Each structure stands twice: as C-alpha cells, then as structure tokens.
Amino acid sequence: MRITAYFGRQTVLARQEYKRIKFGDKNIRVLEGFVIGLAYKEILPRLKDIDWREIANTDIPNVTSNDDEKIVGVQTTLNLEQTVLTGIESLRKTFVSIFGTKKIYRPYVMKLILFAAILEANGTLKTNKEETTNEREARSHIVFGVTDNGFLHCMYSGSGGGEHVGKFPLGQRPEAARGLAHRAGGFFAGAFHDRLVRPEWDRVSYCLILAN
C-alpha cells in the first residue's frame, strides 16, 4: 500500500545507517518501503519483548549523535506490504499506551523500528526475553534473497554487513531458521555452507526469502 510520510532528520539518518549495515552503502538506491519493511521484519521475531521506552532513549550509533547539518528531514512516499503496514498500525496503538500520549504518528513508529533494527543488526538490542542459542545462531546468519529468472540471488546480512553472495545450492532446513522465517512473514528456502561462496567463511548460513 502506498503512503506518504515526513521523515525527520533522525529518521533519515537511521535509514542511511540501516542501509549501510545491511547493504554496505548508505546511499544505495533501495525503495523506501523495502527498507522499512526489512527493518520491521528484522525485529519481528522479538517484537513483543522490545522495551520501546528504552529504544527511544538509546544512543543509536551514527544517528542520534550525528551533527552533519547537511542532513535534513524529507517528505517521502513508501510502498509498504500490507502486513508491514498492519504491524506499524498495531505498534502505533501500542505506543499511545506506552508513551502516555493521545496520538502517535506513523513516522515516529517507523523511526523507532529503524532504531531497533539497527541495534538488532549490531547485536545490541536488549529485550525482556532471552533468545535460545539456536535462535541467536540462526538470526546472525540470515540471508535475504530474491528470485530473478529462475536463479536465487542473496544478500548476506550477518555481522560482516551486506554482501551479495550470488546463487547457491540449497541444503537442509535448520528448525531455528525455519521458525524465524515463518515469524518474519517469509518462507525458508534452505541452507548452504558459506565455503561455497567465500572460502574464508566456515559456517552455515540460512536463506530467508521475504514475501514482497
């Protein structure tokens, strides 16, 4: 669904930082709605356990302390998946109660989603519930992929940042990754050994295909 929104300066900075983390380039041309959707899906498995008051008061690296005066707020248009928009609307109602105000606007919700996603991608998001070891392992090695002309093209999104790893053979289904895929609103395509694409990587990565 297409919506318009005004992104304040911190939201613009958070969007840039999240793109830098996920794709290795803060200026990469990616649809606004895709970035917000990706951020929402990144935190979705832990959504109910996030302390949003703490997120709102947390120093976000390269965002809240950034003094680059050239960065200003912008009016933008986003094409959001219905499931993402529904999630944003649900959070908006939740935030009214959490922050004790009469009204919360969508851009504020999207800003905090980006904040939380940055912390999650950096491995510093604190919640009220500890993940299991298997869930943490799966989440740290998720690969987001898209299909094109019958091939699967993936972007590694672990601690090494965004990096295209091309197409690869699929393997078995680790339960933790399959559960994360389901909760993220996508489907689990399989797993592959990182040595297939990077000899120096000695671990298994999981492929999560997002439903767009």
For 85-120, what is each residue's pLDDT tens digit?
A: 999 999 999 999 999 988 999 999 999 999 999 998
Q: Are residues 100 and 148 in the same domain?
A: no
Q: Which of 84, 99, 121 is the last residue of a domain?
A: 121
- CA 118 to centroid of chain Cα atoms: 8
Q: Are residues 83 and 57 in the same domain?
A: yes
Considering the domain boundaries, does residue 172 fall inside one? yes
Considering the domain boundaries, does residue 68 fall inside one? yes
Considering the domain boundaries, does residue 24 fall inside one? yes
Quick one: which of 38, 36, 33, 16 has its CA closest to 209? Answer: 38
Q: Are residues 112 and 169 in the same domain?
A: no
How many domains is the chain partitioned into structurally?
2
3-state secondary structure of 113: helix
Q: Are residues 93 and 11 in the same domain?
A: yes
Asked whether the CA dihedral 94, 157, 33, 177 is positive or negative, the reply is: negative
Q: What does the pLDDT look like over 69-78, one tens digit per residue?
A: 888 889 999 9
Alpha helices in 49-142 (DSSP H): 52-56, 82-99, 106-121, 133-140
Considering the domain boundaries, does residue 162 fall inside one? yes
Q: What does the pLDDT look like over 143-169, one tens digit per residue?
A: 656 554 445 556 555 444 445 555 554
pLDDT score at 46: 85
Query: At CA 46, angle to CA 144 and CA 187, rounded to 5?
Result: 35
Q: Are residues 109 and 181 in the same domain?
A: no
pLDDT score at 63: 92
Domain that holds residue 29: 2-121
Q: How far apart are CA 152 and CA 75, in angstroms?
A: 34
Q: Are residues 116 and 11 in the same domain?
A: yes
pTM given for the model: 0.64
Q: How far apart are CA 42 and CA 7, in angstroms?
A: 20
Q: Are residues 15 and 61 in the same domain?
A: yes
Q: Are residues 71 and 144 in the same domain?
A: no
Q: Are residues 44 and 84 in the same domain?
A: yes
Q: Are residues 14 and 93 in the same domain?
A: yes
3-state secondary structure of 123: coil
Start-to-end Cα distance in the chain: 11
Q: Are residues 6 and 89 in the same domain?
A: yes
E-strand ranges in the chain read 2-7, 74-79, 142-148, 151-156, 163-166, 186-193, 204-210
Tokens of 120: 């999650």
pLDDT score at 188: 61
Asked whether the CA dihedral 32, 34, 35, 41 is positive or negative, the reply is: positive
Between 40 and 193, name the one with better pLDDT. 40
Considering the domain boundaries, does residue 128 fall inside one? no
Considering the domain boundaries, does residue 127 fall inside one? no
Of the chain, the percentage scoring pLDDT greater than 70 comes to: 60
Q: Are residues 81 and 154 in the same domain?
A: no
Between 127 and 47, name the one with better pLDDT. 47
Q: How far apart are CA 192 and CA 205, in angstroms?
A: 6
